[in-house]
Amino acid sequence: MIMRVVAKCLIPLIVIYAFYVQFHGEVSAGGAFQAGVVLAVVLILHSMVFGLSATMRAVPPWFTRSLAAVGVLIYAGVGVWALLKGGNYLEYQALFGEPPGGHDGQHAGIIIIELGVLCAVSGAMTTIFYALAGRVAEIRDEDW
Amino acid sequence: MTGDIIGETGTALINILFLAILFVVAIAIARLRSLFAIVMLSGVYSLVSAAWYILVDAVDVGFTEAAVGAGMSTAVLLGAMLLTARTAKPEKPLKRIGPFLVCFAAGVMLIYATIDLPALGDANSPANAGVGLTYLQVNWFDTGVPNVVTSVLASYRGFDTLGETAVVFTAGLAVALLLGFGERSLAQTLKNTPKPDTRPAENRKASEPAEKGPAS
């Protein structure tokens, strides 16, 4: 009971913290890799308190594994976008065709690829956790 | 001046404290046989080393260690522990001598190598004088991103990070392909919620004749 109430209070805070880490990666410590892991840890906490099947109903396994693939695609897509604009692969300077010293392309490129990394890391971590925890095996009381 | 000395001694003491905790935890992990305690202690090890990383100004590394080492890998190892035995097999004492000698030799060599390490924050060390300094100088004009770690990671070395993301994705895919996507447990709970009821029924069927047998 106490666990459930505390977890219900904590989960939104941890999610907000994950997005804080994500979007402040440009100016402070942390970044998309850490934010992705924090997001995956939220799901693990949820599954430990409310049970794995409740978590799998909220965030289904097909969603996490497609999220991981979509994340890699977003990242690679930024590179292709730069190619189409006439630059090198992943050359953010070419995204908006700016002269050297213009920073819009850098900011946009970094934010988009960090979104991709966030999706890929959180999706892959959650997939790993589902694969391990979703095996039909019960922990016996005397093993704790 | 005395404040500096007191501060430096305090930092050194905290350093020694953290490293001593790490040492004790590592010894405990090596000596324990219960896998559950080992998993928990490795989480403690990661958390303490994350605090120590922050003490030596490696904030990003410390953050990653706390998130991945203490949070994620502990949960994953707990999940993996469910699939195997709960205690490690005890080894013969003679078999431990070889690994002990290897560890001892590697430790002695590492301690010998630390003599040549530059001091913490040394401006003339190779890490601070060469490419690192160049990045610090050109970063603001090139990218306009205040955090040099992020700009190096995402912009200068975007290829590397793309590779890392692909590695994480591949790792998730490989685990899922080896172990299944975990949907079996979801399907089991969705399909037959009376599943917990069938097992006691079978147990009862198996146990009832044994109980009735002596009576009749």
Give the residue extent of every domain in chain A. Answer: 2-143
pLDDT reported for residue B186: 65
Per the CB < 8 A criterion, the answer to whether A52 and B185 are in contact is yes
- Beta carbons within 8 Å of A117's beta carbon, 6+ residues apart: A31, A32, A33, A36, A71, A75, B161, B165
> What residues of chain A lie within 8 A of the CB of B192, using their CB?
none
Q: Quote the minimal CA–CA distance from B133 to chain A in Å.
A: 19
User: Is this complex's ipTM strictly greater than 0.90?
Assistant: no
Query: pTM above the 0.90 mark?
Result: no
Per the CB < 8 A criterion, the answer to whether A94 and A86 are in contact is yes
**Domain residues of chain B, as ranges?**
7-117
> What residues of chain A lie within 8 A of the CB of B180, using their CB?
131, 134-135
Q: What is the mean pLDDT of residues B1-9?
A: 72
Provide the total of helices (H) and of strands (E) in chain A, helices listed first: 5, 0
pLDDT reported for residue B23: 93
- pLDDT of B130 above 90: no
- Per-residue pLDDT band for A15 (boundaries 50, 70, 90) equals very high
Q: Please name the amino acid found at residue B44.
A: V
pLDDT reported for residue B208: 41
pLDDT reported for residue A70: 94
Q: What is the mean pLDDT of residues B59-84?
A: 85
Residue of B nearest to A132 (CA): B79
Q: With an 8 Å Cβ cutoff, are B76 and A132 in contact?
A: yes
Q: What is the pLDDT of residues B69-78, one digit of tens each?
A: 888 888 888 8
In whole angstroms, what is the distance from residue A115 CA to residue B60 CA? Answer: 18
CATH number of the domain located at residue range(s) B7-117 in this protein:
1.20.120.1200
pLDDT reported for residue B110: 94
Per the CB < 8 A criterion, the answer to whether A64 and A18 are in contact is no
- Per-residue pLDDT band for B205 (boundaries 50, 70, 90) equals very low
Per the CB < 8 A criterion, the answer to whether A42 and A18 are in contact is yes
> What residues of chain A lie within 8 A of the CB of B153, using their CB?
31
Q: What is the pLDDT of residues A50-102, one digit of tens each?
A: 888 888 888 888 899 899 999 999 999 999 988 888 888 888 888 887 777 77
Kindly state the tokens that stand for B25: 């935890």
Looking at residue B87, the DSSP 8-state letter turns out to be: B
